[in-house]
Amino acid sequence: MNGPFVLPVHDIVHRAGEMREFAFETPAPQKWGEGLVAVAAGEPVDVEVRVESVHEGILVSADIATQYEGVCGRCLADLVRPVEVEFQELFGYPGDEALDLQVQDDHVDLEPPIRDAIVLALPFQPVCQPDCPGLDPVTGEKLTREPGHEPRESTDPRWAELEKVIRGDQAPRPDAENTALNITLNTEKS
């Protein structure tokens, strides 16, 4: 059993109370994560890990640091941000079916728990800044470029004629006043 995240524990197997510490950096073997952000394949992953022999198996405690890249969920700006996670997992001895992770050939493979911890720590809706205003709904331009720019409200086309009257672009139709009056009178009679 070998790989960048596989650690030998043969000298502490079945020796409760024994402990070893490791620190290493290795590239992510593949892309970790889906959606708007992910850790790219080949991105350096810093690992500080402590392995302890306990009665049930090998207890692994790890601090992981790397960075993710992707886009802002509101304005689509490029993002590159650090991500730091920690986890603690018990790798059971062979024959203990209750545990998902097991010591195999006196080694522990840290890739699955490291990958899972990092993917779960990635933001579901990443933003470039907490108050990112996003994109203008009409033009599609990034609102972060122009701090004073206010988005135009889109008008329902059914109200376009009324909007013209309110702005003064068009005089009201002569029968419009009578229609409004009839509607008001009819409503009052009900």
List pLDDT tens digits, range 50-89. Answer: 999 998 889 999 999 999 999 999 888 999 999 999 999 9
The pLDDT, as a whole number, for residue 48 is: 96
User: Hey, what are 143's tokens?
Assistant: 């609102």
Closest CA to 91 of 43, 55, 127, 38: 55
Q: What does the alpha-carbon distance between residue 85 and residue 121 come to, in Å, rounded to a whole number?
A: 7
Amino acid at 4: P
The pTM for the full model equals: 0.69
Closest CA to 76 of 47, 36, 131, 33: 36
Q: pLDDT above 90 covers what percent of the chain?
A: 42
Are the C-beta atoms of 152 and 136 separated by less than 8 Å?
yes
- Mean pLDDT lowest among 37-51, 65-79, 121-135, 158-172: 158-172
Are the C-beta atoms of 36 and 22 separated by less than 8 Å?
no
Closest CA to 119 of 89, 85, 91, 90: 85
User: Hey, what are 107's tokens?
Assistant: 């080694």
Beta strands in the chain (DSSP E): 6-8, 19-27, 37-38, 44-54, 57-71, 78-92, 107-109
